[in-house]
């Protein structure tokens, strides 16, 4: 046991001396591993951060969320999007009264507009909604009140501002009771929503105004159709049942026959999350594949330098074998040198990848999340690269004929 330990220590010392003998060559050798491991960790952090941010933002849509959207229609045997929405306020009212699995319903109308308040103006999104909207979106007010059902029925010109809109129009002053103009139609500010932050697509969720959908449709847009209907199921287990009830009801109301396609679309929170998750997984796989190629290139660099080292140290190998070193000792020495190079490169790459992740987060503002698993995989793969690409040069050194090696100049 002691003899084996002594031999292992001797092999390690010889390997370290060989590496330190040419520091510039050793540094260039591990550069590929450093870049590869750093890329794996940084790209993994970007992918994981994006996935977490997307899931968080999807959750911010609201609990048990279902969205009903206008769909395509069949014209002349082809599926095309209709110029006019198929959804009406009466559809939303029917969903509220006839679908037992539904808790909250809000008809929706959207438009972009330039908002004027005194001498300030701001371009934002105006959302027409019903009184259930705060419950669907799980969104409280920081100041004031939300509009009432009576105000919705009467088409009252009242507005609730997102936090960003309030800041940009009123610059820190209290907006409650102030008058804003949407396409020259005056609205009284009744409340301000709590700050919620960025959306799944990176948009500022606080950059919007919510008004009664009836007011927006009749007094501003002059239309009678909805852009969407937002719905909340009573419990997560009832989302599928609620979607089935809504589909059956709308097919009956829109007189869609058996075998005919729907003129509307249903999207649940789970479907949105699954689609977004698949996108981020594909992105992470693509980024990881590019980074893995860097590791392979680094491994080829290690093999190339080790082959050069074997050629340069042929006489040294012959002397060692002449004084009693076994082929396995020579194999172990060169294999150990390759592993040391890859592990050192892996360690530096881990530090570089974490630093690069934090730099990306600071400069680009992207969400990043460094996972222990990605660090372990990158470091383990770096060690594997050292073994895999170091094996051939080490085996070549171990199979040398001592006499031929001693004759080498």
Q: Average pLDDT for residues 302-313, to the nearest whole number?
A: 70
| CA nearest neighbour of 127 among 211, 1, 252, 2 | 211
- Give the Cα separation of 104 and 231 in Å (integer): 6
Which of the listed residues 205, 236, 262 is the one where a domain comes to its end?
A: 262
| Strand, helix or coil for residue 233 | strand
Residue 3 has pLDDT above 60, yes or no: no
Is the pLDDT confidence value at 194 over 80?
yes
Q: Is residue 267 assigned to a domain?
A: no
Q: Is the dihedral of CA 164, 165, 171, 177 positive or negative?
A: negative
121 pLDDT band, cuts 50/70/90, is very high
Find the mean pLDDT for residues 114-129: 93
* Greatest mean pLDDT among 9-23, 37-51, 271-285, 310-324: 37-51
Long-range contacts of range 279-287, CB-CB < 8 Å, 24 or more positions apart? 280/47, 280/50, 280/51, 280/54, 281/51, 283/47, 283/50, 284/43, 284/44, 284/47, 284/48, 284/51, 287/43, 287/44, 287/46, 287/47
Do 153 and 186 share a domain, yes or no?
yes
Q: Which two tokens stand for residue 214?
A: 């009836």
Task: Kindly state whether residue 64 falls inside one of the protein's structural domains.
Answer: no
Angle between helices 23-59 and 269-312 (to 10 degrees): 180
Q: Which of 94-103, 258-267, 343-352 is most confident?
A: 94-103
What's the confidence (pLDDT) of residue 402? Answer: 63
**What value does the mean pLDDT of the chain take?**
79
Query: Does residue 83 lie in a domain region?
Result: yes
Q: At 117, is the secondary structure helix, strand, or coil? A: strand
- Residue 104 and residue 47 in one domain: no
- Asked whether residue 226 falls in the same domain as residue 310, the answer is no
Query: SS3 for 279?
Result: helix
| Same domain for 302 and 258 | no
Same domain (yes/no): 168, 42: no
Q: Using the predicted structure, report yes or no on whether residue 204 has a pLDDT greater than 90.
A: no
Same-domain pairing of 312 and 163 = no
- Same domain flag for 42 and 122: no
**What's the pLDDT score for residue 79?**
46
Give yes or no: residues 89 and 17 share one domain. Answer: no
CB-facing half-sphere around the CA of 117: CA atoms within 13 A: 24
Q: Do 255 and 279 reside in the same domain of the chain?
A: no
pLDDT above 90 covers what percent of the chain? 34
> In terms of pLDDT, which residue wins out, 102 or 333?
102
Q: Is 391 among the domain residues?
A: yes
Q: Which of 82-86, 194-198, 405-409 has the lowest mean pLDDT?
A: 405-409
pLDDT bucket at 217, cuts 50 / 70 / 90: very high
Q: Are 251 and 155 found together in one domain? A: yes
Domain boundary among 227, 262, 297: 262
Average pLDDT over residues 343-348: 84
Q: Give pLDDT, residue 236.
A: 80
Question: What is the number of domains present in the chain?
Answer: 2
Residue 304 lies in a domain: yes
Q: Indicate if 100 and 179 belong to the same structural domain.
A: yes
Query: Residues 358-371: pLDDT tens digits?
Result: 887 777 666 677 77
Q: Which position has the higher pLDDT, 33 or 7?
A: 33
pLDDT in tens, 130-139: 999 999 988 9
- What residue has token string 């070193």? 325
What pLDDT does 29 receive? Answer: 73
pLDDT digits (tens, 9 = 90+) for 369-390: 777 777 787 777 777 777 777 7
* Greater model confidence, 42 or 244: 244
pLDDT at 117: 93
Share of the chain above pLDDT 70, in %: 71
Q: What is the pLDDT of residue 164?
A: 93
pLDDT at 357 over 90: no
- Residue 14 is predicted with a pLDDT of 57
What average pLDDT does this structure show over 319-346?
73
Distance of CA 21 to the CA centre of its chain: 45
Which pLDDT score is estimated for 312?
Answer: 67
Q: Each residue of 41-51: pLDDT tens digit?
A: 887 777 776 66
Give the range among 52-56, 67-71, 157-161, 372-376 with minimum mean pLDDT. 52-56
Task: Give the per-residue pLDDT at 124.
Answer: 94
Q: Which domain holds residue 403?
A: 9-57+275-407
Cβ atoms of 218 and 76 closer than 8 Å = no
Q: Same structural domain for residues 115 and 175?
A: yes
80 has pLDDT over 50: no
Identify whether 311 is part of a domain: yes
The pLDDT value recorded for residue 168 is 93
Cα angle 60-90-63, degrees, rounded to a multiple of 5:
15
Residue 50 φ then ψ, to 5° = -65, -40
Using the 3D structure, point to which of 238, 262, 286 is the last residue of a domain.
262
Give, for 64, the enclosing helix (H) or strand (E): none
244 occurs within a structural domain: yes
Res 71: pLDDT? 78
DSSP 291-306: HHHHHHHHHHHHHHHH
- Whether 325 maps to a domain, the answer reads yes
Say what the pLDDT of residue 383 is. 76
Whether the per-residue pLDDT at 276 is higher than 70: the answer is no
CB 379 within 8 A of CB 347: yes
The pLDDT of 293-318, averaged and rounded, is 70
């Amino acid at each position: 046991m002691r003899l084996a330990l002594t031999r292992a220590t001797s092999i390690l010392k010889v390997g370290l001396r060989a590496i330190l003998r040419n520091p510039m060559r050793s540094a260039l050798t591990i550069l590929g591993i450093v870049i590869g491991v750093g890329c794996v960790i940084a790209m993994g952090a970007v992918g994981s951060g994006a996935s977490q941010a997307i899931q968080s933002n999807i959750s911010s849509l609201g609990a048990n969320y279902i969205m009903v959207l206008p769909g395509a229609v069949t014209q002349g045997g082809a599926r095309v999007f209709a110029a006019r929405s198929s959804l009406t306020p009466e559809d939303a009212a029917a969903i509220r009264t006839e679908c037992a699995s539904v808790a909250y319903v809000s008809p929706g109308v959207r438009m972009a507009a330039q908002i004027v308040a005194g001498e300030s103006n701001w371009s934002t999104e105006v959302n027409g909604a019903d009184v259930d909207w705060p419950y669907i979106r799980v969104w409280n007010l920081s100041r004031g009140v939300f509009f009432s059902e009576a105000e919705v029925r009467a088409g009252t010109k009242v507005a609730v501002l997102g936090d960003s809109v309030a800041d940009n129009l009123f610059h820190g002053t209290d907006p409650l009771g102030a008058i804003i103009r949407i396409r020259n139609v005056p609205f009284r500010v009744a409340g301000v929503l709590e700050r919620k932050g960025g959306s799944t697509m990176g948009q500022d969720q606080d950059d919007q105004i919510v008004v009664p959908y009836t007011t927006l449709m009749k007094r501003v847009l002059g239309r009678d159709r909805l852009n969407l209907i937002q719905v909340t199921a009573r419990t997560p287990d009832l989302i599928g049942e609620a979607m089935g009830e809504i589909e059956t009801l709308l097919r009956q109301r829109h007189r869609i026959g058996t075998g005919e396609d729907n003129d509307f679309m249903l999207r649940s929170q789970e479907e949105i999350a699954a689609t977004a998750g698949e996108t981020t997984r594909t992105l992470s796989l693509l980024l990881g594949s590019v980074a893995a190629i860097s590791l392979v290139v680094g491994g080829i660099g290690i093999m190339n330098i080790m082959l050069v080292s074997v050629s340069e140290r042929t006489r040294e190998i012959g002397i060692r074998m002449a004084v009693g070193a076994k082929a396995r000792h020579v194999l172990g020495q060169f294999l150990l040198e390759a592993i040391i190079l890859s592990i050192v490169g892996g360690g530096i790459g881990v530090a570089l990848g974490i630093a690069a992740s934090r730099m990306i987060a600071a400069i680009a503002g992207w969400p990043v999340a460094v996972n222990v698993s990605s660090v372990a995989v990158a470091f383990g793969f770096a060690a594997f690269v050292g073994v895999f690409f170091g094996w051939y040069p080490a085996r070549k050194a171990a199979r040398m004929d001592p006499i031929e090696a001693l004759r080498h100049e």
